[in-house]
Structures are given as C-alpha cells and as structure tokens.
Amino acid sequence: MSGCSSVTERLNNAATAKGQAQAGAQLPPLPDDLRRQEPHAPIVEGQPLISILARERQALDRANGRQQRTVEFYDDIQKRLGAR
C-alpha cells in the first residue's frame, strides 16, 4: 500500500504546485477610499429641506465617483492579468 500512497502523494503535490502556479498573480491593494461608505447628510432641525436634498445629492455624487473608481480599478486589473 505504501507504493499507492507515494503515487497519490506525488499527484497531490503536482496538483498543488499547478494550482499555485495558475493562481500566482499578486493583486494590487484596493485603494482605501473604495472601501469607505458614504454617510447620509445630517438633518439639522430648522434647515430648509432643499439644502438637505442638495447635501444628499453631493453625497450621492461622491459615492458614484467611488463606484466608478472601483470599476476602473477592476478593469485595469483584468487588462493587466489578461481576462481569464
């Protein structure tokens, strides 16, 4: 039986080495701002609703910009690694 385990062990080692070689791409770190959540604009009592809406829209613009940078970051990684 030891002969069989030797063959099995060699096959496992070969499969592990092959998998590591195929997965060997080092991904760059994700930019910090792409992990950030955008908070809602604070509601201040007595403040006109239009100003709150304007601040919410600014927050949405920041969130959309961050989402766009995430897409560009991912697309760049795909180009550099060659889409698989």
Q: What is the pLDDT of residues 59-83, one digit of tens each?
A: 999 999 999 999 999 899 888 887 6
| Position 84 pLDDT exceeds 70 | no
DSSP strand E in the chain: where? none
Task: List, as own/partner pairs, every contact residues 57-62 make where C-beta atoms lie below 8 angstroms and the sequence separation is at least 24, other chains included.
Answer: 62/38
Give the pLDDT of residue 20.
67
CB distance 40 to 79 below 8 Å:
no
Q: What is the pLDDT of residues 7-52, one digit of tens each?
A: 888 888 888 777 767 766 777 888 888 888 899 888 889 999 999 9
